[in-house]
Structure 1
Amino acid sequence: MPDLDPSARSTASYDWSATALGDTAPWPLPLRLSSDLLLNSPLPTLLVWGAETILVFNEAYAQLAGPGYGRVPGGSVPPVLPPPMAAAGKALEAAWRGEAGVVQDTALTFRRLDGPHEARFDLRLSPVRDEAGAVRGVVLALAPATAAPAEEPADNGSLRILVVEDNVDSQYLVCEMLRAFGHEADGVAHPDDALALLARQRYDVLFSDVSLPGMSGVDLATRAIADDPALRVIFASGYGDTLLRHLSFPYQSLQKPYEIDQLQDALSKVARQPAGGR
């Protein structure tokens, strides 16, 4: 961080008469307090105030953004969103709804007189409320960047599988085999129940009998893939592949009764199938 003048500042340290905020005498207390805190913060900080998005900023932000941005303390409506506001995106919208938030490890580019300057920050957003609890502004501070949390490692090929089989004994057996292979498996007996589950949560694989009550497994898979093109499909049938010959999406099929190694082979093939099919 740059070396800054350690002397205390307040709203009284500046002439606001020419700004969009005007004379400080009628300012509401939340605006006065948040401005005082901002002006004394060692972090580059913005205050976005009111529906007009009037911007106040401190010395640390002015040094970071460069002289072309304007003079401290601001107090005007910018013609173009400053980089931190543009990068905050949905977090800024959430702050206006009263939700504090952090956008981690964000790259910002400032167009300075000596050329573009890029730096990384954590954007920390805090709503500013008035005495009635309404959000009147948002403080946006640029803190030193911390790495975003690493994504959880892949679960060694584990798949989330929905089994659709109207024979309850067969359904139970298939689900137990899939769990023994290290996968997650849910079982239902009716296509309507399958569609309801698919609408609530994501599955990697639909494992369906071709012959089902009320709707064929083919029709079920067709509807499911229309909603989630990344869904992979395995059919089980006691009547051969006659109903599967003209399908427009990839699938694996098993002829009942099938062996455990055939099931494992079908799972291995769908696991290697590219997401989105395709």
Structure 2
Amino acid sequence: MTAPAMNSLSTLEYDWSRTDVGHPDGWPVTLRVATDLMLNSPLPALVLWGRRQVMLFNASYAALSGLPTQPPGGRIPAMQPSAWSWNPAALERAWQGESLVFPGQALQLWRADGVSEQRFDLYYTPLRDGEGSVLGILSTLGPPSAAAAASAARTLRMLVVEDNLDAQYLVCEMLRALGHEVDAAADAERAQQQLEERRYDVLFTDVSLPGISGVELARRAVARWPRLHVIFASGYSGTLTQQLDFPADAIQKPYDIEQLQAILDRIPLS
């Protein structure tokens, strides 16, 4: 990814009159400094300002995503940019004050000529006022590191078993964004059928399922396919793994993408 050459820029060189942030003379210092840094960054960068979801972006991000460069800010459209929408939980963590890095994250970029998938190292930095309150978020899209690129090349075949359909959808989309092949089932009975029909590398199952539990499903699956790697989603992950009579990992709810990716990175490809 090559960013276009940029001269030194400042907020005063743009006409902000048609945007939701108004003239820079009325901006808080935090917004002024963050925007100057963003405009001068050679990497694609965005600022999400306030809970009203006002978005500002630089020329590199405009070129990457096909957005118009004027005006450089405004309310986020109905379809949010993938830098914000790919993981709402991560964005909420940034609003709570965490600085986050997601190596090698795949983003779907929507342009006039269609959709393309590209990978970036994503950085989220909370923007604070003098009292420490988070007023906005700076997101920078860097080229994927060598380690992230190698990780992204690993494609695991995964079966997700989750009876909460909203949670099932979110985790499946997250795993697909990481480059994995994912099928889903809402109960253990259907999951057993799918395990018979296709070879999987990973069974990622909730512990509490209607009918047969996730633990019993995994026990039967590992007995039949010993190389299957099991990951449990559980409210008490540490206690659970100590009580099992077969190898498994467990991730405690609510979990995040970094925890899950760390487990997946340890799984050998079959």
State the TM-score, normalizing by the size of structure 2: 0.55
Output the amino acid matched with 1:100.
S
Q: Shift in Å at residue 17 of structure 1? A: 1.5
- After superposition, residues 49-88 of structure 1 pair within 5 angstroms as 49-67=49-67, 71-88=70-87
Give me the whole-angstrom Cα distance separating, in 1, the residues matched to 2:45 and 2:132. Answer: 23
Q: Shift in Å at residue 82 of structure 1? A: 0.4
Give me the whole-angstrom Cα distance separating, in 2, the residues matched to 1:70 and 1:79. Answer: 19
Give me the whole-angstrom Cα distance separating, in 2, the residues matched to 1:134 and 1:11. Answer: 23
- Aligned match of 1:36: 36
How has the CA–CA distance of structure 1 residues 114 and 29 changed in structure 2, closer, same or farther, with 3 Å as cutoff? same
How has the CA–CA distance of structure 1 residues 272 and 48 changed in structure 2, closer, same or farther, with 3 Å as cutoff? same
C-alpha distance after superposition, 1:91-126 (max 9, x if no partner) = 211100000111221222222223333321111100
Unmatched 5+ residue regions in structure 2?
Answer: 153-211, 231-245, 247-270
Contact 2:15 2:71 in 1 (8 A): no
Contact 1:54 1:78 in 2 (8 A): no
Contact 1:91 1:103 in 2 (8 A): no
Output the amino acid matched with 2:3.
P
How has the CA–CA distance of structure 1 residues 270 and 95 changed in structure 2, closer, same or farther, with 3 Å as cutoff? same
- Aligned match of 2:226: 272
> Which of 225, 228, 235 lines up with 2:215 in the alignment?
228
Contact 1:49 1:55 in 2 (8 A): yes
Q: Shift in Å at residue 88 of structure 1? A: 3.8
Output the amino acid matched with 1:228.
V
Q: Whose Rg is larger?
A: 1
Q: Compare 21-30 and 102-111 and name the one that shifted more.
A: 102-111
Output the amino acid matched with 1:85.
W
- Aligned match of 2:102: 103
C-alpha distance after superposition, 1:7-45 (max 9, x if no partner) = 211111111111100121121100100000000000100
1:17 aligned to 2:17? Answer: yes
Give me the whole-angstrom Cα distance separating, in 2, the residues matched to 1:108 and 1:271. Answer: 34
Give me the whole-angstrom Cα distance separating, in 2, the residues matched to 1:273 and 1:105. Answer: 27
SS in 2 for 1:12: helix
SS in 2 for 1:25: helix
Give me the whole-angstrom Cα distance separating, in 2, the residues matched to 1:39 and 1:105. Answer: 23
- Aligned match of 1:142: 141
- After superposition, residues 228-247 of structure 1 pair within 5 angstroms as 228-230=215-217, 232=219
Contact 2:126 2:134 in 1 (8 A): yes
Output the amino acid matched with 1:4.
A
How has the CA–CA distance of structure 1 residues 230 and 275 changed in structure 2, closer, same or farther, with 3 Å as cutoff? farther
Q: Calculate the aligned-residue CA RMSD, in Å.
A: 3.0
Give me the whole-angstrom Cα distance separating, in 2, the residues matched to 1:56 and 1:103. Answer: 21
How has the CA–CA distance of structure 1 residues 109 and 227 changed in structure 2, closer, same or farther, with 3 Å as cutoff? closer
State the TM-score, normalizing by the size of structure 1: 0.54
Q: Shift in Å at residue 73 of structure 1? A: 1.6
SS in 2 for 1:32: helix
Give me the whole-angstrom Cα distance separating, in 2, the residues matched to 1:53 and 1:115. Answer: 25
Contact 1:16 1:75 in 2 (8 A): no
Output the amino acid matched with 1:84.
A
